[in-house]
Chain A
Amino acid sequence: KNQVEQSPQSLIILEGKNCTLQCNYTVSPFSNLRWYKQDTGRGPVSLTIMTFSENTKSNGRYTATLDADTKQSSLHITASQLSDSASYICVVSDRGSTLGRLYFGRGTQLTVWP
């Protein structure tokens, strides 16, 4: 069964600290893995997309890694800011159809305290 599991479910860190969020998946055949940031009351916003051949991609203070062999990804946030408080969603796309079906994780709720 195709699944996406994220950990931890929630995380609290102090402003300025770094953190790493985890995503494990069983989706096959794999097409790409995406990380989205969803602020409370808003729609998700894309942070990174990685295909099979990419093992790291950065977007400012966000760095995503992908290990397609172990089917694991991580999102590292450097020097956290209050505005980083949000839900971070891992999404995996398969390539078994034209649509490229998307499998969503439940997200990690990150809270950054001053």
Chain B
Amino acid sequence: EADIYQTPRYLVIGTGKKITLECSQTMGHDKMYWYQQDPGMELHLIHYSYGVNSTEKGDLSSESTVSRIRTEHFPLTLESARPSHTSQYLCASSEYNQNQPQHFGDGTRLSIL
């Protein structure tokens, strides 16, 4: 039922490679987010966007970058992957109203060898 899609679902790749995690939503939401989640731990916000050409860093320091050229698309890029980047990355979107829920994708599980 989710209208927010993340690809790939799983990625195993070597150190030093450039990686782009894709996230697309079809709900026309202005707000989009990237979270990092490790097993048994809370979600940590790494990037967010209020709309096209708007991007901000979140609470957790991350070496990744994001872009928001189109409303529906919010890709995350790692220029040079390291083992410390191994984690689950979740993308979410929401309406501008604070009392509306976030809709999450099913995540990308990233493993850097």
Contact = CB atoms under 8 A, between A and B. Distances in A.
A51 B43 CA distance: 21
A42 B103 CA distance: 12
Interface in B39-85: 40-45, 48, 50
B111 interface: no
A28 to B, nearest CB: 15
Contacts of B101: 34, 46, 49
B92 interface: yes
In this complex, the interface size class of chain B, counting residues with CB under 8 Å from chain A, is 20 to 34
A60 interface: no
Interface residues of A, number: 23
A4 B42 CA distance: 10
Given A42-B107, A43-B92, A102 B99 contact: no
A62 to B, nearest CB: 14
B105 A43 contact: yes
Contacts of A100: 98
Nearest to B2: A43
Contacts, number: 51
Interface stretch (A15-23, A65-73, A76-84, A104-112): A104-112
Contacts of A49: 99-101
Given A43-B2, A43-B92, A43-B105, A106 B98 contact: no
B45 A102 contact: yes
A64 to B, nearest CB: 13
Contact of A104 (B4, B43, B99, B106): B43
Contacts of B31: 99
Nearest to B56: A99
A31 B98 CA distance: 8
Interface string A3-35: 010000000000000000000000000011010
A43 B99 contact: no
Interface of A: 4, 31-32, 34, 41-46, 49, 51, 89, 93, 95, 98-100, 102, 104-107
12 contacts: A4-B42, A32-B99, A34-B101, A41-B106, A43-B104, A44-B90, A44-B104, A49-B99, A49-B100, A104-B42, A107-B40, A107-B42
